[in-house]
Chain A
Amino acid sequence: GAVVSQHPSRVICKSGTSVKIECRSLDFQATTMFWYRQFPKQSLMLMATSNEGSKATYEQGVEKDKFLINHASLTLSTLTVTSAHPEDSSFYICSASGGGRGGYSNQPQHFGDGTRLSIL
């Protein structure tokens, strides 16, 4: 159980393109989803917390107009990188928790397989 599917696994596109990444919880309802970013040889850094039916909460330094997050249902959150540039190239990974709204529950997080984004 507790499977999180992330799609696509890899994207290569030209500078200026907008890219949408989907994160789905397949066998549980995810009231809260999280989006992380990982640069090569570094740890994962939380970008934002996504709550079903409400606005996402962004971490300090993350541009909300650049990284649009939508969590329209209990099983789907999307991250759209708008007008992507080479510096946005990174590994993006989502996680889902079945805990209460805002993540206010000590439930383990389950991770998708990640999306490797390359902007030319």
Chain B
Amino acid sequence: GIQVEQSPPDLILQEGANSTLRCNFSDSVNNLQWFHQNPWGQLINLFYIPSGTKQNGRLSATTVATERYSLLYISSSQTTDSGVYFCAVSMGGGNKLTFGTGTQLKVEL
């Protein structure tokens, strides 16, 4: 099956710093989503981005489908950004998501 690797696995930032999270996938995909899982386990939809670039406030994402990667940018980080960030992809005719390995982010004061 498709492999989805995220980097870095762990990241500690000072409040106000910027960061880039990366998601590499091993095959062509037709769906890619970024999620933030908060400390209570809730998965928050950040972006549905199979290709191109999107922005939502301090967050933006870019997917280069031909090169099989996606990037999530977090600017001016806040402590509430802490949690685990997952990318998830699906391929072919189905919509079953394969989740990446995740990036654990901690934002400190």
Q: CB within 8 Å of B: which residues of A? A: 32, 34, 36, 38, 43-46, 49, 91, 93, 95, 97, 99, 102-111, 113-114, 116
Contact = CB atoms under 8 A, between A and B. Distances in A.
Interface of B: 30-31, 33, 35, 40-43, 45, 48, 50, 86, 88, 90, 93-102
Nearest to A2: B45
A46 B88 CA distance: 11
A104 B95 CA distance: 6
A97 B93 CA distance: 14
A102 B86 CA distance: 24
Interface of B is mostly: loop
Given A44-B99, A93-B43, A102 B33 contact: no
A106 B86 contact: no
Contacts of A103: 90, 94-96
Contacts, number: 60
Contacts of B93: 104
B96 A46 contact: yes
Contacts of B50: 106
Nearest to B100: A43
A48 B80 CA distance: 32
Contact of B95 (A32, A36, A91, A93): A32
B102 A107 contact: no
Contacts of A113: 40-42
Contacts of B88: 44
A104 B94 contact: yes
B95 A97 contact: yes
Q: 8 tightest CB-CB pairs across the interface, nearest first? A: A103-B95, A108-B48, A111-B43, A44-B99, A43-B99, A114-B41, A104-B93, A106-B31
Nearest to A103: B95
Contacts of A45: 99
Nearest to A104: B93
